[in-house]
Structure 1
Amino acid sequence: MNQAELIDTVATTAGIKKADAAKVVQAVFEGISGALGRGEDVRLAGFGIFEVAERAAREGRNPRTGEVVKIAASKAPKFKPAKQLRDSVNG
């Protein structure tokens, strides 16, 4: 499912116009992104937890040359599905 299909599903399920559904979907994405940008977790009961994972600085290798490359520390979004979501996916 892509974003357009998600918007169609939200519009149909909620009985609203696609334009309004697009605004809702965009607002949800912005809310999650904003919270993660501030280092906050987003906990959605029955769905899962969006959180920020810290990646330490490390050394890697260029596969072409074998040269050692320094990889800077970074942060990455992470998602942990709730048991209810895992159960629905697994039947």
Structure 2
Amino acid sequence: MNKSELVKALAEEHMLPIDEAAMMVDTFFDCLRDAMVRGERVEIRGFGSFKVKEYKSYLGRNPKTGSNVAVPPKKLPAFRAGKELKDVLNV
């Protein structure tokens, strides 16, 4: 399912105009992103949690040339599924 399919499903489920459903979905993802930018953990009970993982810099290797490459520190989003979601998937 992609974003437009999610908007369509929301609109059909709650008999909303597509524009209003799109605004709701956009607002949800904007809030999720903004919280993660602030370094906050976002937990959606029954679904899972999102957080930002920070990785230190390290010395990597270019697989094509074999030369050493300095990889800068970075932050990446991480998702951990909740127990209820895991249970539903493993029925």
1:27 aligns with: 27
1:59 aligns with: 59
> What CA distance in whole angstroms lies between the structure 2 residues aligned with 1:17 and 1:88?
30
What's the offset of the Cα at 1:13? 1.5
SS in 2 for 1:39: coil
Q: What is the aligned length?
A: 91
Structure 1 letter corresponding to 2:82: A
Q: Structure 2: 5+ residue runs without aligned partners?
A: none
1:76 aligns with: 76
Structure 2 letter corresponding to 1:69: V
Q: Structure 1: 5+ residue runs without aligned partners?
A: none
1:9-59: per-residue Cα shift (whole Å, max 9, x none)? Answer: 111112211110000000000000000000001111111111011111111
TM-score by length of 2: 0.95
> What CA distance in whole angstroms lies between the structure 1 residues aligned with 2:89 and 2:10?
19
Structure 2 letter corresponding to 1:20: E
Give the root-mean-square deviation of aligned CA atoms. 0.8
Report matched runs for 1:42-53 at 5 Å: 42-53=42-53
TM-score by length of 1: 0.95
What's the offset of the Cα at 1:86? 1.0
Q: What's the % identity of the aligned pairs?
A: 37
